[in-house]
Amino acid sequence: MLRVILKPGESIERALKRYKRKHRNVKLHEQLRDRKHFKKKSEKQRELIKKAQFKEKYLRDLENI
């Protein structure tokens, strides 16, 4: 569970912004979505390979610019 403690003099909007940033950084929403349905190990491995290929292509394109 994520907790955000209000600092002295901090507004609610600022604390909410910190909470949203924490939520995004720990990727809680993505974890919940992934756990909703079972994925086989081979599917997870396939996704990792696709991500790695995309990242490699992206970095290679950046070097060529």
Average pLDDT over residues 2-17: 91
**Two tokens at 4?**
């955000």
pLDDT band at 9 (very low <50, low <70, confident <90, very high): very high
CA-atom Rg of the chain in angstroms: 18
**What's residue 50's pLDDT?**
97
Structure tokens at 53: 């290929």
pLDDT (0 to 100) of residue 21:
92
